[in-house]
Structure 1
């Protein structure tokens, strides 16, 4: 029995193998869409839970199930962003809690990852949501146009046009960001911290791959 048929039939061993194979990919995709490692872990868990619940919807014919999983993750990340807005609005109405000392043992590597995500998000948040999503699927996740279209439930032409707009917009935003940093340094108002220029460059390079792109 093929993998898709086993998944549809509720084969737990096959689904476990699916998780092992694609969990890291789904988590990375969620990180790029949410900009938060903890949120990405929640999105990943919700993605596989939803995948299990909707397994009977899987087409018995086809190739890799990665585009299907990334499509679910995209929807979960979208819901997360909406939920964050609602939670922030709720917390803003609550009394300020007493300050307590934070004893969280957070590794330097995790903090660096969070800073890098924040730097990229500073640029990506200025894109429209559909453009962010197609950029994450086609550029970072490496899906081709047909796979991204299937994941998002839109025509291939829509994926092409969204990706083109996203790349054009990102080039402009990255240029503005770097020009602003250079201008601040030249005018002597503020010296950039070590590695700051590298973060800006990384935000641009991560978001703007070679022109070959997906097909």
Structure 2
């Protein structure tokens, strides 16, 4: 490579060093949350990296980056609006789609507290079994394991849970082959 044609990485490093503060300032002034501004600035420079051959030379570089950042922010706002609309719709439909969890709320807290005292591996197989209603074969598929390894692991984890709950069985809605109702954490 000739000295007049620096490598791609060097060009990008220079572009980033010269314009990062300006692009971050641009995005900060147009968002309510610093993390949104940081995401927009990162996406702007990702696009600049991908389209480095199209980035204009000085003095048009910064306006080009601002244009990219402006479009990134617009996409971000559209995505936020879609998520908000979906969230509103789901909150409106949730009460009719999910059974009332009030009768099991106290028992759910006990089960969740017992699960929190268990190791990660036990908690994982129990959540898949009790919450998702999966059997050992299905749990093995989710975890990328075999049924022969999961069956004894699930059996031991269920025994530990029974011990932690004082030998009380898991509450209704947490038994195998019964649909799981949302816990208070998930329903919020």
TM-score (norm 1): 0.37
From the CA coordinates, give the structure whose radius of gyration is larger.
2
Greater RCO structure (CA 8 Å; 6+ sep)? 1
TM-score (norm 2): 0.42
